[in-house]
Structure 1
Amino acid sequence: MSEKQAPFWETKTLEEMSDKEWEAICDGCAKCCLHKFIDDETVDELAPTAVIFEGEQVHYTNIVCSLLDTKACSCTRYEERTKLVPDCVKLTKDNLGDIFYMPSSCSYRRLHEGRGLPSWHPLLNKGKKSKMHQLGMSVRNKVVYDHDVELDAFEDYIALWPLEDID
């Protein structure tokens, strides 16, 4: 009788994963596509940031990039996304230390923090996203496109649901 081998996400660190394994860790929730900001009263103009200081908090909106397919929760131009949208989030092994801008339910963040994959993750559900959508852990049916709103009024679109993390 052969012993069942543990899945790669339980035996490897994120840094040790192959590119294929790394991509498979993405749960496909599309929360990384949400426009986010850090409330900083010392800055007059909004700008992308790669740092967060003590006492600051990332605020998520329900505004998404126009490249997002909101039903499938996937980028329509995934390979070109960072060229087309310069401030697009591209989490890599090299910038894992900057994972603060990802919601607590993000599978990369969960593994980085030693919390394991959530029960709704597609890798634990035959590759399907249906449980994730049923539990409300994706952006499906919760967002508006950035070209449909006045971005200067982003405070009107602050959303608390991206902070939800179950199991």
Structure 2
Amino acid sequence: MSDPINRSGLAARFWEHKPLTKLSPREWEALCDGCGKCCLNKLEDEETGEVALTRVACRLFDDMTCRCAQYEIRHQFVPECIQLTPDTIEQHAYWLPETCAYKLLWDGRPLYDWHPLISGTPETVHEAGISMQSRTVPEFEVHEDDWEDHIIEEPM
């Protein structure tokens, strides 16, 4: 599978010497490991703020590629889709998966060896069993009241 994110031409290990808030748009996008977990519907406990991931995926999620099928125009179809940016990471980091590069770096932790920026290939996230490749159900197949039945443990 080809890498839909162009990681060539970026400075070596840029994430280790540049804060998230100073990354270029290309560097920011390159941090995405392609796991697909940000596209999963989440349940948040209103009392504790605890967030649980479900295997119920957004209607635009392609679980073979672990990418949004309409990324550039996703807000036309899913207006509530949260756009994670250097400016919004502080308010949204709490719901990101534990293995997410954005969350890891926000918390001052290193990337995992399977991350494409470390391994050099987008396949390692799937080979490590981190991605949601072929592990989801589309949201239109599961009533929202039943999402709790599809909670997954993190990290996978």
What's the TM-score bracket when you normalise by the shorter of the two chains? 0.7 to 0.9
Match of 2:29 in 1: 23
Percent identity among equivalent residues? Answer: 40
Q: Please point out which of 76, 83, 92 is paired with 1:83.
A: 76
Q: Please point out which of 101, 105, 116 is paired with 1:111.
A: 105
- Asked if 1 retains the 8 angstrom alpha-carbon contact of 2:59 and 2:140, the reply is yes
Q: CA offset at residue 83 of structure 1?
A: 2.7
- Asked if 2 retains the 8 angstrom alpha-carbon contact of 1:132 and 1:138, the reply is yes
- Asked if 2 retains the 8 angstrom alpha-carbon contact of 1:33 and 1:89, the reply is no
- Asked if 1 retains the 8 angstrom alpha-carbon contact of 2:40 and 2:58, the reply is yes
Looking at structure 2, the residues matched to 17 and 71 of structure 1 have their Cα atoms a distance apart, in angstroms, of 29
Q: CA offset at residue 156 of structure 1?
A: 1.1
- Three-state SS of the structure 2 residue aligned to 1:27 is coil
- Asked if 1 retains the 8 angstrom alpha-carbon contact of 2:43 and 2:148, the reply is no
- Three-state SS of the structure 1 residue aligned to 2:56 is strand
Matches within 5 A, 1:1-167: 6-40=12-46, 55-98=48-91, 99-126=93-120, 128-160=121-153, 163-164=154-155
- Three-state SS of the structure 1 residue aligned to 2:113 is coil
- Asked if 2 retains the 8 angstrom alpha-carbon contact of 1:32 and 1:89, the reply is no
Regions of 4+ moved over 4 Å: none
RMSD: 1.6
Residue identity opposite 1:96 in structure 2:
I
Larger CA Rg, structure 1 vs 2: 1
Q: CA offset at residue 82 of structure 1?
A: 2.2
Q: CA offset at residue 6 of structure 1?
A: 5.0
Q: CA offset at residue 149 of structure 1?
A: 1.5
Give unmatched runs, 5+ long, in structure 1.
Answer: 42-54
Report the count of equivalent residues.
145
User: C-alpha deviations, 1:125-152, integer Å up to 9, x for none?
Assistant: 22x2222111111111211000112222
- TM-score between the two structures when normalised by the length of structure 1: 0.81
